[in-house]
Chain A
């Protein structure tokens, strides 16, 4: 007959214990679970996405009701246990139900620490531990009032961001001088603070709470220094303590938590403890990875493997806030016997710090770019000698000891026991094994079968690499899409390496990054040519053969092989002489169609290729230059008539449009850029569906970006408000420069913005004045080399081979 296993608590640790137990000995026990929370087992790590609205409760359930039925588990929901009788071997619930056990598993988790300041019991003071807390917060957030989060650690920051997303005005208070000081060193803490502040969250460090004020509910919070912060909601996220009261009352040995041996047994061998309530060798644990390690040990012990032992390994931390990449692991305090390697790239917002001791990696902090986290973490856990790698260690696996630049190869090089998914404790061997034996082909399959990347999702990239490495060419990962079949590298990797390795020509790049084809293909060459131009203005020699025909001959190819020609009309303004010149050209070259474009220009369609230089010469003579209607670059700035004529105009929108166009023409960008300036919010220039749009208002200029009106239709997002034309031009140039530096080739501004995050862009362009000015300066430098009229150059004889046949055999043939 099966023994009786009673589990007190239904969090992630006991859930994992039972999963593992059922895998090996499904029939060994009759299981009864008492859950104080009125629900099934869910992924507590994912409460933050629920709070921010990115997920709902159903999406974070680990074991639905069906799971309990399937495994014959009796689950009492909303039933807390009040007493354990170790002599009678029974537990008794608050409702008076007494159940006998053969083995008991205590998994009571932890309790939030509540600072006993005056007012801590007022309504509106919450902790952040379970779904009830989240629901209470969501309810409070409906008021759109003010929230104060006490505690700038992992949970506090996630709560703050979530509440901000819900529309509350949020302040984070942190006792220490920098955020997350237990996981981050000081510089990374400052970077994090800046990123949090960029989301409109106020951060006060060295803040000591004196009292929470209010009559019946929270009204304000008072700091020791006398600052009074209005608050409708106060979240205490200052830490947790093991919930060991029940065990203590039962006479078990208790320190901070319930003391357990390596076997996870408490001082009573029939009683195990698992999770945050357990204390092992004076340590308690709050992150999921070690808790899952505990769960495996308990499951093995319950299944009869008395050799199973818990030995906690190093843990890594990741902040689960969309758009902020942060990773830390190990020990990174400074000490005399330690050395450190630091990489700072302020422009990219990247900070990496490795702490070494005796040629071994003992700590790592990554901010901004955490892609190499798993690789560093593996070195840290295995403690292998890194003397050989030291010179390039900080650049990660891409540069390590001659390892190919292929990210798949880096993952391939990891040992089978390397942990890929920290949340669910899934190692590489388990994932690759499941892919092979179960025939998995997609990320979702792997998530379903192994749980890898099913929790916080930050290892998704690695899991995809494993799929790719295991399945070969039959798998095409969505996340790290290679540029093309010529390489395994993605666009971002290539851009980074162009700068890092000072690659200044396409052949050099292909050699150095091990391109698989002799000279690339029609996908990568135009992209590389653009990346080179953007990275090395003035230095890189443009490669015409790597450009699409439109950019090579500065006109748009049509279906019959003829071309269309669009001269620039600054801001959409033209004149009698320009129109006359256009009319003359149309007649002289018998151009079949003349059409007005959506960008306020005149398009001449059906020009024969050999006529192009002569057409341009005539247009040049009338003062017109190329309208770049063919370019991945600035196309048009559309305007309305503004204060010049319009009775509603608030600013000189036409003038501003002309200024922007004259300043920015000629610049190459990842994809085409169309702009508009409207003189008032009636928006006659349709600025709110452009890549960049300006809406003039009485008080200045609202700058918009990331609109689209093509394959996708999307209104713009507000970048920010400025008061003067000069500021508007500076912000727009900085925005475009940021896009030039980060955009992937053919990725329009709205797609780039979606990928990197609107707030990140706003922060860099609008809030960070230094950054904006640096971006602006780089744009200005690049323009020095970009503003040459390509038509004039070719009308004067440049690239003649493009426009003339090599030979004409028609006459000779006819003569024969």
Chain B
């Protein structure tokens, strides 16, 4: 389950995110990075690299991955896991597109907050 219908929050237009780029969404427990890939997929992850908390939203997006701007860790956007030899994982948050709008599941945020 990804939370009740009302927990989905509109955070803006898809077009507000550059292709192969990201935007930041502020939440009570820190920033989320919302990525838009070359092929139009959208992913939301905590904006903190598992390595040294670098802002992933500032990295270069390629394929389904982002390279952290601080030390070049490569994070798989779909799983939040570090790729290659590095080990670590970022929390991912469910996200979907509806009529050109980006929606994220805040229930997942709250639950995580409660946990």
Q: Which residues of A contact B (CB under 8 A)?
A: 517-522, 525-526, 544-550, 552-553, 557, 559, 561, 801, 805-810, 812-814
The reply to whether A522 and B21 form a contact with Cβ atoms under 8 Å apart is no
B26 touches A809 (CB 8 A): yes
User: How far does the alpha carbon of A518 sit from the alpha carbon of B39 in the complex, in Å?
Assistant: 9
Q: Is B63 an interface residue (CB 8 A)?
A: yes
Contact A549 B59 (CB under 8 A): yes
With A519-B62, A806-B16: A813-B106 Cβ-Cβ less than 8 Å: yes
Alpha-carbon distance A521/B37, docked complex (angstroms): 12
Question: Are B25 and A809 in contact, CB atoms less than 8 angstroms apart?
Answer: yes
Q: Note all chain B residues with C-beta closer than 8 A to A812.
A: 9
A sample of 18 more A-B contacts (CB under 8 A), given A519-B37, A805-B25, is: A518-B39, A521-B62, A522-B60, A526-B60, A545-B18, A545-B60, A546-B60, A547-B60, A557-B55, A557-B58, A801-B16, A801-B18, A805-B26, A806-B24, A807-B11, A809-B9, A809-B28, A813-B106
Chain A residues within 8 Å of B20, by CB:
519, 545-546
Is residue B90 within 8 Å, beta carbon to beta carbon, of the partner chain? no
CB closest chain-B residue, reference A526: B60
Tell me if A525 and B31 are in contact (CB < 8 A).
no
Contacts of B86 in A (CB 8 A): none
A residues near B78, Cβ cutoff 8 Å? none
Closest chain-B Cβ to A2's Cβ sits at a distance in Å of 59
A506 to chain B: closest residue by CB: B20
Q: Which A residue sits closest to B19, measured CB to CB?
A: A545
Contact A522 B25 (CB under 8 A): no
Residues of B within 8 A of A (CB): 9, 11-12, 16-21, 23-28, 31, 34, 37-39, 52-55, 58-63, 65, 67, 69-70, 72, 74, 102, 106, 109-110
Which of B11, B21, B62, B69 is A557 in contact with, Cβ under 8 Å? B69
C-alpha gap A805/B53 in the complex (Å) = 18
Can you list 7 A-B pairs, Cβ within 8 angstroms, ordered by A?
A518-B39, A526-B60, A545-B18, A801-B23, A805-B26, A806-B16, A813-B110
Report the separation of the CA atoms of residues A808 and B30 in the bound assembly, to the nearest whole angstrom. 11
Check B38–A519 contact: CB distance below 8 A.
yes
A806 near B12 (CB under 8 angstroms)?
yes
**A517–B62 touching, CB < 8 Å:** yes
Q: Is the CB of A809 within 8 A of B55?
A: no
- Find A561's partner among B25, B39, B55, B60 (CB 8 Å cutoff): B55
Task: Report B76 CB to chain A, min CB distance, Å.
Answer: 13
Determine whether the beta carbon of B60 is less than 8 Å from that of A806.
Answer: no
- Cβ-defined contact, B63 with A549, below 8 A: no
B90 to chain A: closest CB distance in Å?
15
Task: Note all chain B residues with C-beta closer than 8 A to A519.
Answer: 20, 37-38, 62-63
Residue of B31, B60, B62 near A548 (CB, 8 A) is B60
CA distance A517 to B38 in the complex (A): 11
Choice from B19, B24, B106, B109 contacting A805 with Cβ under 8 Å: B24
* Closest chain A CB from B68 CB (angstroms): 9
A544 touching B18 by the CB < 8 A rule?
yes
Contact A807 B39 (CB under 8 A): no
Smallest Cβ distance from A812 to chain B, in angstroms? 8
Evaluate contact between A810 and B12: CB separation under 8 angstroms.
Answer: no
**By the criterion CB–CB under 8 Å, are B62 and A810 in contact?**
no
Task: Provide the bound-state CA to CA distance between A552 and B22, in Å.
Answer: 13
Give CA–CA (A561, B38) in the complex, Å.
25
Q: How far is the CB of A655 from chain B (nearest CB, A)?
A: 38
Residues from chain B with Cβ under 8 Å of A561 in the complex: 53-55, 58
Closest Cβ neighbor of B22 among chain A residues: A806
**What is the minimal beta-carbon distance from A627 to any residue of chain B, in angstroms?**
20
